[in-house]
């Protein structure tokens, strides 16, 4: 299960530079992940997109806003030789804003034997500017071949806190409508996804609203009595990027959950809620945060 992933830079920007740190980090053994089904073990090809080199069997994300954390789990089946490249794992993060914790990984061989990863994890510098550093945790799983199942999970801990007005709205005189990002779920990946599951554990008593982006009709989105937001999407095709196409955020299947205060309409809410995330990204590139008043906005 996992949490919010925030896309702050495009893949082309991420390719600017790379340098591995000299001090590797020790990996941990896997947690109690969901068992691999006999059906998944028997798969010889992708039922969604036959012929693709690999597919994601399970993509599970849990956002816990109470601990400012996001936990991400992926299970990938390798079908062809070119799919072995997915044994090279890269977890991007902002060094000043995010801490990567509890990295765990394993490989299940075609005969059903599982090998826990106990190798080294390295820090890789992707982009470095005056007040900006985009890094990644990297490691490679050994003994990955055709028919192998790759599993890994990690936890992102965010240093930023949700504004107090959303935690304690009764303390404020609210005139207008406000929105603040609670979870961002990039459902569509560069591989087909057989089963995806997203959960948001919100702050107590908060009201949430979800903006859907190209969600299929059979996606199951529900709010539980305790406020938890849960989304399940099956059989998501891989995203195919085309030359001269619009930005990926307009084309991919995803969902964004926001905390909301006051009265809002559908159109205003969408554009007003999109602004805080984009402004947060722009802040890192433009320098001083003083020119940006807050990450939540009124409309």
| pTM > 0.75 | yes
Tokens of 65: 């806003």
Collect all residues with Cβ–Cβ distance below 8 Å to 201 and sequence separation of at least 6. Answer: 62, 63, 64, 65, 66, 228
Rounded to an integer, what distance in angstroms lies between the CA atom of residue 237 and that of residue 56?
10
pLDDT tens-digit profile, the chain (299 residues): 433 333 333 333 333 333 444 345 555 556 679 999 989 989 999 999 999 999 999 999 999 999 999 999 999 999 999 999 999 999 998 878 889 999 999 999 988 899 999 999 998 887 777 667 778 999 999 999 999 999 999 999 988 889 998 988 888 888 778 899 999 999 999 999 999 999 999 999 889 999 999 999 999 999 999 999 999 999 999 988 777 667 777 789 999 999 998 765 444 554 554 555 555 555 544 554 443 333 444 43
- What is the CA angle 145-156-37, rounded to 5? 40
- Domain ranges, ordered by start, for the chain: 11-33+50-298
Residue tagged 């199942």 (tokens) = 149
As a CATH number, domain 11-33+50-298 is 2.60.40.3140
- What is the CA angle 92-250-189, rounded to 5? 45
- What is the CA angle 150-57-237, rounded to 5? 125
């Amino acid at each position: 299960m996992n949490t919010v992933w925030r896309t702050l830079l495009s893949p082309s920007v991420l390719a600017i530079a790379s340098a591995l740190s000299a001090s590797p980090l020790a990996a941990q053994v896997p947690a109690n992940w969901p068992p691999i089904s006999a059906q998944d073990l028997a798969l010889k090809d992708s039922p969604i997109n036959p012929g693709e080199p690999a597919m994601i069997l399970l993509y599970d994300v849990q956002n816990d806003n109470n601990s400012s954390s996001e936990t991400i789990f992926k299970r990938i089946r390798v079908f062809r030789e070119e799919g072995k490249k997915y044994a090279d794992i890269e977890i991007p993060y902002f060094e000043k804003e995010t801490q990567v914790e509890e990295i765990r990984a394993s490989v299940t061989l075609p005969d059903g034997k599982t090998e826990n990863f106990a190798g080294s994890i390295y820090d890789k510098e992707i982009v470095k500017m005056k007040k900006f550093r985009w890094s990644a945790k990297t490691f490679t799983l050994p003994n990955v071949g055709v028919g192998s199942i790759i599993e890994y999970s990690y936890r992102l801990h965010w240093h930023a806190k949700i504004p107090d007005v959303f935690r304690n709205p009764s303390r404020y005189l609210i005139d207008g409508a406000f929105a603040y990002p609670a979870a961002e779920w990039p459902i569509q990946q560069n591989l087909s996804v057989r089963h995806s599951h997203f959960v948001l554990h919100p702050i107590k008593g908060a009201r949430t609203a979800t903006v859907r982006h190209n969600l299929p009709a059979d996606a199951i989105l529900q709010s539980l009595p305790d406020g938890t937001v849960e989304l399940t999407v099956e059989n998501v095709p891989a995203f195919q990027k085309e030359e001269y196409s619009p930005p990926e955020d307009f084309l991919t299947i995803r969902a964004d959950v926001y905390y909301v205060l006051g009265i809002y309409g559908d159109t205003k809410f969408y554009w007003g809620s999109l602004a805080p995330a984009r402004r947060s990204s722009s802040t890192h590139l433009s320098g001083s945060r003083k020119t940006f008043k807050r990450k939540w906005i009124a409309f």
